[in-house]
Structure 1
Amino acid sequence: MKKLAFIFLMISTVALAQRGNKDSNRIGIGGGLTQLNIFTDNFTVTPESGWIGGLSVRGNYYNNWQMSFGMFFTDSNFSIPTQKGLLQTQTSFKMSAVQIYIVPSYVAIPDHLNLEFGPVLQVNGKLTIDDSDENNILLDQPTLLAKDILDVSKFNANIYVGINGGIKNVRARIGYQYGLTNFFGNLNNNDKIELLGEKMKGNIGLISGQITIYL
Structure 2
Amino acid sequence: MQIRSCPILVLFLLLFVTKSIAQPENYEIKNAFMIGGGMTYFDMITDNFETQKNTGFIVSAGIGAPLPHKWYDISYNFQILKNKFDIDGRVSDDVAGNEWIEYEMFGVQAGLVFHINLIGSYLTLDVGPQLAYNSDLEVRDSEMENYFLNNYETLQAKDILDVNNFNVNGMAGVSAGFGPLKLRAQYIYGLLNTFDKLNDLEAGDDFKGNPNYITFTAFLLF
Task: Identify the TM-score tier after normalising by the shorter chain.
Answer: 0.7 to 0.9
Aligned-partner Cα distance in 2 for 1:119–1:100: 9
Find the residue that maps to 1:147 and give its secondary structure: helix
Larger % of strand: which?
1
Aligned-partner Cα distance in 2 for 1:126–1:20: 45
Cα 1:20–1:125 shift into 2, 3 Å: farther
Deviation at 1:78, TM superposition (A): 0.4
CA RMSD after TM alignment: 1.7
Q: 2:75 aligns with which of 65, 68, 75?
A: 68
Aligned-partner Cα distance in 2 for 1:198–1:64: 48
Aligned-partner Cα distance in 2 for 1:28–1:51: 17
Moved more, 154-163 or 76-85: 76-85
User: For residues 75-127 of structure 1, what are the alpha-carbon distances to aligned partners after superposition, in whole Å with 9 as ceiling and x for unaligned?
Assistant: 11100111125663100000210011111111112231111001111101111
**Which portions of structure 1, spanning 4 or more consecutive aligned residues, are displaced by more than 3 angstroms?**
19-22, 85-88
Conserved in 2, the CA contact under 8 Å of 1:111 and 1:168?
no
Please tell me whether residue 154 in structure 1 is matched to residue 165 in structure 2: yes
Partner of 2:133: 123
Aligned-partner Cα distance in 1 for 2:127–2:65: 15
Within a 5 Å distance, the mapping from 1:17-166 to structure 2 comes to 22=30, 25-61=31-67, 63-85=70-92, 88-129=98-139, 130-166=141-177
TM-score (norm 2): 0.81
Conserved in 1, the CA contact under 8 Å of 2:105 and 2:137?
yes
Find the residue that maps to 1:144 and give its secondary structure: coil
Partner of 1:173: 184
Q: Gapped runs of 5+ residues in structure 2?
A: 1-26
Deviation at 1:140, TM superposition (A): 2.0
Within a 5 Å distance, the mapping from 1:174-213 to structure 2 comes to 174-189=185-200, 193=201, 195-213=202-220
Aligned-partner Cα distance in 2 for 1:31–1:142: 41
Conserved in 2, the CA contact under 8 Å of 1:153 and 1:183?
yes
TM-score (norm 1): 0.84
Deviation at 1:54, TM superposition (A): 2.1
Identity of aligned residues (%): 31
Find the residue that maps to 1:142 and give its secondary structure: coil
Q: Gapped runs of 5+ residues in structure 1?
A: 1-18
Moved more, 51-60 or 32-41: 51-60
Find the residue that maps to 2:179 and give its secondary structure: coil
Structure of higher CA gyration radius: 2
Deviation at 1:21, TM superposition (A): 5.4
User: For residues 145-169 of structure 1, what are the alpha-carbon distances to aligned partners after superposition, in whole Å with 9 as ceiling and x for unaligned?
Assistant: 1011111110011100000101121
Conserved in 2, the CA contact under 8 Å of 1:102 and 1:119?
yes
